[in-house]
Amino acid sequence: MNATSAPLLRVEGLTKHFHTSKNLFGKPTHTVKAVDGVSFEIGYGETLGLVGESGSGKSTTGRLILRLENPTAGQVFFEGQEISRLGAHAMSPIRKKLQVVFQDPFSSLNPRLRVGDSVGEPLQTHGLVSSTAEKKEKVAALFKQVGLDPKFMDRFPHQFSGGQRQRIGIARAIALGPKLIVADEPITALDVSIQAQIVNLFLDLQEELGMAYLFIAHDLGMVRHLCHRVAVMLRGRIVELGSTEQVFANPQHPYTRALISAAPIPDPDREALRRRIPYDLVPPPPGAVLQQVEPGHWALSAA
Ligand SMILES: Nc1ncnc2c1ncn2[C@@H]1O[C@H](COP(=O)(O)OP(=O)(O)O)[C@@H](O)[C@H]1O
Ligand SMILES: [Mg+2]
């Protein structure tokens, strides 16, 4: 596939095994298959939701895409270029286009750095500003873009609320004009009342700037409003993948049904009738493969 016809991101058989304990001779005795042969694509300007219980391998998938982790097997293609084994130097131009927003902006922001400097740091690193005045001007514009008053630029992270800090994290992520943002549970740690505001900010910024998101979440709540497509992950495997409409209207895998039943419904009458479907987190059978249910909609077979 050449670079022009390639999707923005393609992940092929991505696998990450962690060896959590070793015997006397350094041989691994226990292996966690955090990500176990995951494949999907993200188109330009598209949002793919990656959902699943805690421990299902979502963050590891994100970290592999971001090159924060080396894959055990499989490949990551960004704009048609394989990046899964690139070193730091070769990754540098790609870093501009591939950014991250973490769950907890407090731990991702340097507590001793004024937030304006945190947001401006990537601009400086990539040589996109030539003076302090220019940096300030660009940072002020980024603050406005994420709904923050630029006069707060000189404050420190602890002086902001959780929602404001996440806005700062987002400003930093968009500073270089990325094509893809991996957002790893960016609303999970926020008050429910703030979550919708941040989801709306993601939507507004996508409309303005046209970037794609890999939006990681452990439940389906906001995913419905934000994502074009959804991938459901269980024990390192994708068990279902389809458009948001397909997955919500016609869920195939029992785990997807359980996740949907666990998501609150905004309509109080229907919410009162909602019954949770329990699901044992059994790993999918090793021989199971994704089968097409309808065009664009895949679910893992029983065996
Ligand atoms: N650095 C690591 N070393 C060992 N095990 C890890 C490491 N990172 C993640 N894991 C394990 O891999 C699995 C998937 O983790 P993670 O990707 O964080 O899941 P999620 O983001 O869906 O909660 C978990 O069992 C977790 O304990
Ligand atoms: Mg995680």
DSSP letter string, 237-259:
EEEEEEEHHHHHHS--SHHHHHH
**What is the whole-number distance in angstroms between the Cα of residue 60 and the centre of ligand 1?**
6
**Nearest-ligand number for the alpha carbon of 52:** 1
Q: How far apart are CA 267 and CA 141, in angstroms?
A: 38
- Say if ligand 1 is within 6 A of residue 291 CB: no
Q: Which residue is closest in CA terms to ligand 1's atom 14?
A: 57
Is 57 a pocket residue for ligand 1 (Cβ < 6 Å)? yes
Q: Which residue has the tokens 């987190």?
A: 281
Q: Which residue has the tokens 């994708």?
A: 238
pLDDT at 192: 86
Whether the CB-CB separation of 48 and 231 falls below 8 Å is answered with: yes
CB of 60 sitting under 6 A from ligand 1: yes
Tens of pLDDT, residue by residue, the chain (303 residues): 445 578 999 999 999 999 887 777 777 778 899 999 999 999 999 999 999 999 999 999 999 999 999 999 999 999 999 999 999 999 999 999 999 999 877 777 899 999 999 999 999 999 999 999 999 999 999 999 999 999 999 999 999 999 999 999 999 999 999 999 999 999 998 988 899 999 999 999 999 999 999 999 988 888 988 999 999 999 999 999 999 999 999 999 999 999 998 887 777 888 888 888 777 777 788 888 999 999 999 999 865
CA-nearest residue for atom 20, ligand 1, is 55
